[in-house]
Structure 1
C-alpha cells in the first residue's frame, strides 16, 4: 500500500485543508462500501483513503507526518483508522454530506473558519538571513453586527420547511435509501428569513488586512509558515481558520543553494592560478579571504566552513563550496603573445610533467586498443 498519504488522496504536499477534504470526499464517494457491496478492491481503496485522511485531515497529525513520516506517527501513538465503524465515527462531517444516515447530525453548533493559503516570493538573502515581512490579504471575517450568526439583531432562525428541522433528507436510489444533507439548510435544520443587513445572512464580511510575519533564517522554497487564527472568520461562534504562507525563494545571480550548502564559481586569471594569490571571495556574510595555492587547477574546489546557510533547527550553519574557474583571455596584445610564446618554449624545454606524461600514456594506450 502507498505510504505517501498525499499520493493516496491525489493532492500536493502543500494542499490546503479544504483541498484535502475535497479530494477525500471524492474518493470516499467513489469507493464507499454502500455503493460497492462485496467489492474487496473498492473496500481496500476506501480504507486506504480513510487512513490518509485521518492523518492529513488533522493539523497536528499532519504536522508530525510532514516532518517525520509514518514512523513519527507510530511513535506518537497512531495505529491507523481501525474498522469501518471507527472510520465513520471519525469522519462524520465528511460522510454527513454523502451518507447522512451514518452520522445523522445537524450542523447547529459553531462552524470554524476556512484555512487560507498565501504564496510569498522572497529574495535569496531574506531566506538565508531571515526577515520581517508584511503581507496584505483579503479574507472573510466574522460579522460583528450579528456575531457570525447571519441573523438580523433581534430575530431568530426559522425551521427549515424542506427537512422539517432534521437537517437531513432521504432519497431512494434503486435498492438503497440514501440519507443526505438537506440542500436548503445545509444540515442546520433552520433557515434565515431575516438576514443581517451587513453580511446578507452569510455571517462573514469581506475585509482587507495587513499581517506581519517573521521569516526564520534558513528557510527554503516550499516551506510553510502557519499563522494561527489569520484564516477566514468562524460562524456561529466558531474559531477562525489559519493562514498558511508558502515560501518561494528567488534565485541569486552568484550563489547556488543545496540544502544548507552554498555553491559559487569564482574566476581566477591564469597568473593567479599558476602563481597563487590571496583573493576576496563574496559570501552570504560578506567578503572572506581565500588563499589560492600556486598551481591551482580549473574546477578545483575550496571549502569555507560555516559560511553556508543557518540551520532552521538551531544547529551549525552549512559550508560554502568555491569552485575555481580559470579565465582565458580572448584578446592578447603583441607583448602578451610574445611572453606566452616564450613561456611555451620554456615549458617544452622542461618536457612534460608527470601528470601530462601519465595522461598521454593513457590516451595513446587507449587509442592503440581501439584501433588494433
Structure 2
C-alpha cells in the first residue's frame, strides 16, 4: 500500500509541514489504526504499517530530503528507506509513536528519557550570499524547556515520585490467552513517575511553546539543499529529556546572469558579429567583486564556451574556487544604417567562400547528394 501512496498524503500533512505537525498527525493516526483497537481488522493493520513507514522517513531530515527530491525511488534497492519491515513488531512501532511516555528499556529499569524531535527550517539565500557567506538570525516557534520547573514538570519545591503501578518501568504486562502483552502503564502513561503537583506553567510536560531567535552562520560556497545543523535547538524533550536538533535547509535564489553547477558559474554573452569576426574582449563583473577580462579570439562561433579559471564559486569548507564559463552567442544586427549596409554589400562582393568554410562545405555536400541522384 505505502509503496505507491504519497507519504504526506498517508500522514494527512502538507509537504511543507514541520516536524511537530507530522509527529502529531502520526500519533493520531497510529492510535486510530493500532491493532489493539482494531483486533482482527486487516485493513487497519495495513494502514497502521503504512503510516508507520511514512513517519519513519519523514521524521528523519536526511530521509525526508531524499524523499522530497526522488520520491519512493530514493529507498528502492537498499536505498535506506524507513519501511515497516524496519520495526520488530507492533510493540516497537507503538513505542516509536508514543516514545516519551513509553521510553523504557525492554529488560526493565526506569523508563528512559526520549529526546525531543528534530525540526526543519527552510532558508532562502541569494547567489551572492552563497558566494560570500553570511551571519544572520532566524526566529522559530519551538517547544522549549520550561523555565519555571527547569524541565522537571513538577511544581517548584516538589518532585516526581516513582509510579507504584509499574515500579518506574513505564510499562505493565497483561496476559491475553497464550500471549503476554506489554503496554504503557495506565497510571503514569509510560513515564515511570507520578507528578502529584504539576508545574502551573507547563502542566507537567516540562516544556512550553516559545519563540526563539537563533544565530546562523552560512559559510561561503553553500549550494541548493546544503544543510546546517544547530545542535540542541530542536524540540525540547519531555520532563528534562535532551532536546532534538534544528536542521536548516538552504535554497539559493535564481540569479539574473549566472547559473550554477557545483563550483562552476555559467553565463551567456551576446556579442556583435563584427567582434566575433575580428576578435575582442569582454569585461564581466564577478561575484567576487573583480572584473574578469575574457579574450575573444577572431572567428569565434555561437555556442563556443570560454573558461576563466578561479572565477567561479568557492569550495564549501575547502580552498580555492571553481571556474567561470562564458558561452558566446553571436548576435546578427537587425538595424543597419545606410552606410553600414553599403559596407556589408561591399564585403559580400569580395566573398570567396573561404571566409565561412562550414557553410561552403555544407552546400558542397548538398550539391554532391543531388548530383548523385
TM (normalized to structure 1)?
0.70
- Whether 1:234 aligns to 2:243 is no
TM-aligned CA distance change 1:270 to 1:264, over 3 Å = same
Secondary structure, counterpart of 1:103 in structure 2: coil
- Residue in 2 that maps onto 1:338: 342
Retained in 2: the 8 A contact 1:136–1:211? yes
Question: For 2:203 and 2:294, how far apart are their aligned partners in 1?
Answer: 68
How far has the Cα of 1:341 moved from its partner? Answer: 2.2
- Residue in 2 that maps onto 1:307: 311
Question: For 2:206 and 2:296, how far apart are their aligned partners in 1?
Answer: 68
**How many residue pairs align between the two structures?**
344
TM-aligned CA distance change 1:114 to 1:352, over 3 Å = closer
Structure 1 window deviating more from structure 2 (309-318 vs 234-243): it is 234-243
Structure 1 window deviating more from structure 2 (199-208 vs 180-189): it is 180-189
Give 5+ residue unaligned stretches, structure 1. 1-6, 33-45, 61-83
- Please list the CA deviations of residues 225-275 of structure 1 after superposition, one character each: whole Å capped at 9, or x if unmatched: 011122233343332221111001101000000111111001211111111
Secondary structure, counterpart of 2:115 in structure 1: coil
Question: For 1:252 and 1:276, how far apart are their aligned partners in 2?
Answer: 28
- Whether 1:244 aligns to 2:250 is no
TM-aligned CA distance change 1:354 to 1:193, over 3 Å = same
Decide which of 210, 213, 216 is 1:213's aligned counterpart.
216
TM-aligned CA distance change 1:166 to 1:129, over 3 Å = closer
Secondary structure, counterpart of 2:360 in structure 1: helix
How far has the Cα of 1:166 moved from its partner? Answer: 5.2
- Counterparts in 2 of 1:181-192, with a 5 A limit? 181-182=184-185, 185-192=188-195
Question: For 1:356 and 1:256, how far apart are their aligned partners in 2?
Answer: 32
- Residue in 2 that maps onto 1:131: 134
Retained in 2: the 8 A contact 1:106–1:189? no
Decide which of 138, 153, 156 is 1:150's aligned counterpart.
153
TM (normalized to structure 2)?
0.70
Give 5+ residue unaligned stretches, structure 2. 1-6, 36-48, 63-85
- Whether 1:298 aligns to 2:298 is no
TM-aligned CA distance change 1:320 to 1:332, over 3 Å = same
How far has the Cα of 1:158 moved from its partner? Answer: 6.0
